[in-house]
């Protein structure tokens, strides 16, 4: 089967690019002396997780219990579910632990920590809990070295359920330039290490001191005191990461294969069958790359996206490909080069959101031949 045989829209994964991206992050983790626990919220694919771990299973991060169930079925036993747990989810987590005893839960709340300990005792399950600390991101987490942190650890430790501390510098996505990312990475590292030392000084022991985001993983100066990192986006990259300077446009490993379904010469645009659902409505990359809309396009046979056009508007099932620049915009577009039925790849603005709309990847590797179809999970 070839790209030309696929229905459109379809999600295409370039395995050569994926392997290159993975090799880069594996080397980074080795250089930093930490375990790579890739965040599978981006790929949601056992094949991708195995590729990161050299063909086998290994530690991963997940964003939903549905992901944890999927990866447990695929043989992954060591998972950090990196969204704060609520008591109503503990029984489901306990069920997952039968196949994946290394499942770790996250909390930053004293009542939730008490519920973890109590429900674990009632079920006869030793949950593994990691405490989230805030290191500047402002989303979640308690302050390192705070009484709240101590109280949460004290609620978990007697039951043998304190597994570690973690931080997520999500605000690295808002940085301007590498120096600022380096500073955010250092704050993330220093904060979580301070929390670990604070708890150890109080007599606690635990295994995991965890940080992570693709930008901080790529630009941390060192990770002394940290045991693992959890980047996720790096496997595929996207226009946002490209705009942030984390990758070249040629590293973006995932695209949406779409068909030209119409021309509107009066408005000088080309209609594609990839719209808001096929691409997502994430427009974050426009903060970094002017007028990138919902995505840039490239021919499947080309390495780099075109600079002159972008998907500048979307309706539910329509993408509107238009000239990208202002005054010297191409007018008219070369409609004859884009006949109805011809195909192009749209590079995603934010690949975590775009990929979430699909249940499988069609995998290519250096040609237009589909060399594999990899499933991906979703939902909650």
Minimum CB separation from its own copies for residue 316, in Å?
A: 6
Query: How far is residue 236 CA from its own chain's centroid?
Result: 9
Name the residues that contact its own copies, by CB under 8 A.
7-10, 41, 63-65, 83-89, 92, 108-109, 111-112, 115, 134, 138-140, 143, 170, 259-264, 266-267, 271, 273, 276-278, 280-283, 315-318, 320, 339-341, 352-353, 356-359, 379-380
Helix spans in 54-124 (H): 65-73, 90-97, 110-123
Minimum CB separation from its own copies for residue 214, in Å?
A: 13
Nearer to its own copies, 45 or 227 (CB): 45
Minimum CB separation from its own copies for residue 340, in Å?
A: 5
How many alpha carbons fall within 13 Å on the CB side of residue 359?
Answer: 1
Minimum CB separation from its own copies for residue 173, in Å?
A: 10
Minimum CB separation from its own copies for residue 273, in Å?
A: 6
Q: Decide: 12 and 361 in contact? Cβ < 8 Å.
A: yes
Which pairs from 290-293 meet CB under 8 Å and 24+ separation?
291/324, 291/325, 291/326, 292/239, 292/243, 292/324, 292/349, 293/322, 293/324, 293/349
Q: Decide: 199 and 191 in contact? Cβ < 8 Å.
A: no
Nearer to its own copies, 32 or 43 (CB): 43
Nearer to its own copies, 32 or 149 (CB): 149
Nearer to its own copies, 5 or 31 (CB): 5
Minimum CB separation from its own copies for residue 318, in Å?
A: 6
Minimum CB separation from its own copies for residue 26, in Å?
A: 23
Residues 6 or more apart whose CB falls under 8 angstroms from that of 179 comprise: none
Nearer to its own copies, 26 or 110 (CB): 110
Query: How far is residue 227 CA from its own chain's centroid?
Result: 20
Sheet holding 128-132, edge to edge: 35-36, 228-229, 208-211, 162-166, 128-132, 104-107, 79-84, 60-62
β-bridge partners, 79: 60
Nearer to its own copies, 201 or 336 (CB): 336
Which residue, chain included where needed, has tokens 């238009």? Answer: 322
How many alpha carbons fall within 13 Å on the CB side of residue 298?
Answer: 18
Nearer to its own copies, 79 or 278 (CB): 278
């Amino acid at each position: 089967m070839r790209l030309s045989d696929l229905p459109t829209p379809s999600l295409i994964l370039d395995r050569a690019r994926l392997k290159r991206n993975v090799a880069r992050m594996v080397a980074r983790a080795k250089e930093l002396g930490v375990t790579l626990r890739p965040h599978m919220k981006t790929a949601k694919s056992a094949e991708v997780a195995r590729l990161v771990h050299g063909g086998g299973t290994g530690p991963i991060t997940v964003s939903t219990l549905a992901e944890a169930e999927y990866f447990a079925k695929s043989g992954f036993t060591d998972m950090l579910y990196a969204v704060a747990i609520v008591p109503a989810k503990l029984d489901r987590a306990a069920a997952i632990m039968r196949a994946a005893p290394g499942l770790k839960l996250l909390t930053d709340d004293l009542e939730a920590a008490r519920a973890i300990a109590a429900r674990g005792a009632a079920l006869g399950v030793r949950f593994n809990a990691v405490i989230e600390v805030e290191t500047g991101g402002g989303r979640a987490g308690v302050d390192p070295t705070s009484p709240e942190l101590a109280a949460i650890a004290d609620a978990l430790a007697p039951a043998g359920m304190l597994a570690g501390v973690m931080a997520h510098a999500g605000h690295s996505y808002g940085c301007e330039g590498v120096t600022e990312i380096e500073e955010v990475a250092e704050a993330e590292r220093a904060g979580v290490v301070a929390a670990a030392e604070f708890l150890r000084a109080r007599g606690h022991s635990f295994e995991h001191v965890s940080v992570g985001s693709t930008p901080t993983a790529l630009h941390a100066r060192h990770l002394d005191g940290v045991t693992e990192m959890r980047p996720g986006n790096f496997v595929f990259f996207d226009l946002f990461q490209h705009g942030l300077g984390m990758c070249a446009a040629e590293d973006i490993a995932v695209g949406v294969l779409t068909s030209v379904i119409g021309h509107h010469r009066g408005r000088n645009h080309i209609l594609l069958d990839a719209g808001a659902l096929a691409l997502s409505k994430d427009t974050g990359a426009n903060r970094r790359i002017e007028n990138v809309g919902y995505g840039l396009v490239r021919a499947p046979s080309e390495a780099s996206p075109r600079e002159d056009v972008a998907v500048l508007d979307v309706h539910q099932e329509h993408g509107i490909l238009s000239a990208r620049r202002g005054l010297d915009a191409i007018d008219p577009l070369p409609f004859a080069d884009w006949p109805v039925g011809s195909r192009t790849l749209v590079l995603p603005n934010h690949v975590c959101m775009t990929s979430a709309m699909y249940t499988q990847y069609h995998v290519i590797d250096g040609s237009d031949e589909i060399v594999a179809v990899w499933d991906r999970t979703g939902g909650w």
